[in-house]
Structure 1
Amino acid sequence: MGACPHCGVEACEAKFQECLDRDFADPDYGVVHHLTVGAYMLQHSRYLDENVAGTVDFLLRHLDRAPGESAKRDIRRWTDGPRRVARRGEESAPVPPELFWPSSIGDVDLTTADSYRASVRRWAEAVARAVRRTSQGCDW
């Protein structure tokens, strides 16, 4: 199978699914769902290019606080709206050139809700900052 070309983690998608399962099963885990999804999607180049900067800003604004109900409705309208925000499964997602990921889903600790939230926050911040640094002046 090999390591993921986007993040370097073996079976990263399975780990992502495990995180989503926890997010939906336990609200103490799910409070960082917005960070889990955003970090994974950014790290795996799943968002369309025009949505990357907004996602980075959103993650950095919501590291320490979940989005309010109004923001959640806006996100749902955005993701379910008439314009696509993510690449479709058949579309090839480019691997950002020479991007060093200081953290990945492999660093997420699922043992307790506290450790999960802390590790997801660290991962989301690292990904958002790396994308911001790399995307300035880089077309990928």
Structure 2
Amino acid sequence: MEEGNQMPERCTECGALQLEGKTCQELFDEFTTLKYLNEDYLRVHFFLVSCFMIQHRRYSQEALAQVESVLRAALEKPMTLQQLRQMAAPGMNSHTRSWRMEHAEDVPPFPEVAWRMTIIDVARNSQAGQDVEQYCALIKQWAQSTLEQLSALRR
């Protein structure tokens, strides 16, 4: 196969096909900086981080349960950033929680999932985050899809 016609690689953590040679982590790093360019991106920053961490199986079981609960509540009833922070703070505060945010190396993450929507889809459909409204809508759609699939895992 010619070098220019190589198949895109899959993310070893979430299984998504890379977009134009960018890894999920590279896209995540780019997207997390958007909030510094335009505060409108802050509206969905929690959703971005949560979905990325869930799909890349980085949360501990305790963190996953906490994040899933806050994510579900935030999608069911739109909240201001302040309300979201107040809701998340008690369980997420590193000074008061007794559990680790990321799963320990000796503890297997939850099973692999064939995610219907990933950060790659957000990048592809929002011109890599350039369209703020489209980006925010896609991040919320990603969060909803992720929660639906998590719920299905528990059945």
TM-score normalized by structure 2? 0.72
* 1:107 pairs with 2:126: no
Partner of 2:14: 7
Partner of 1:48: 60
Contact conserved, 2:116 with 2:145, CA < 8 A, in 1?
A: yes
Q: Which residue of the other structure, out of 12, 18, 26, is the alignment partner of 2:30?
A: 18
Partner of 2:94: 80
CA separation of 1:12/1:124 partners in 2, compared to 1, >3 Å: closer, same or farther?
A: same
Query: 5+ residue gaps in structure 2?
Result: 1-7
Partner of 2:45: 33
Q: Secondary structure at the match of 2:116?
A: coil
Deviations 1:26-76 (A, max 9, x none): 111121111001111111111111222332221122136245525414534
Q: Distance in 2 between matches of 1:92 and 1:7?
A: 19
Deviations 1:87-121 (A, max 9, x none): 26x73674643522110000112121001001101
Q: Considering only aligned residues, what root-mean-square deviation do their CA atoms show, in Å?
A: 2.6
Q: Distance in 1 between matches of 2:107 and 2:130?
A: 31
2:102 maps to amino acid = R
Larger radius of gyration: 2
CA separation of 1:127/1:115 partners in 2, compared to 1, >3 Å: closer, same or farther?
A: same
Contact conserved, 1:44 with 1:95, CA < 8 A, in 2?
A: no
* 1:91 pairs with 2:105: yes
Q: Distance in 1 between matches of 2:107 and 2:144?
A: 22
Contact conserved, 1:59 with 1:124, CA < 8 A, in 2?
A: yes
Q: How many residues align?
A: 135
Contact conserved, 1:44 with 1:93, CA < 8 A, in 2?
A: no
CA separation of 1:71/1:120 partners in 2, compared to 1, >3 Å: closer, same or farther?
A: closer
Query: 5+ residue gaps in structure 1?
Result: none
Q: Which residue of the other structure, out of 78, 88, 107, is the alignment partner of 1:65?
A: 78
* 1:116 pairs with 2:135: yes
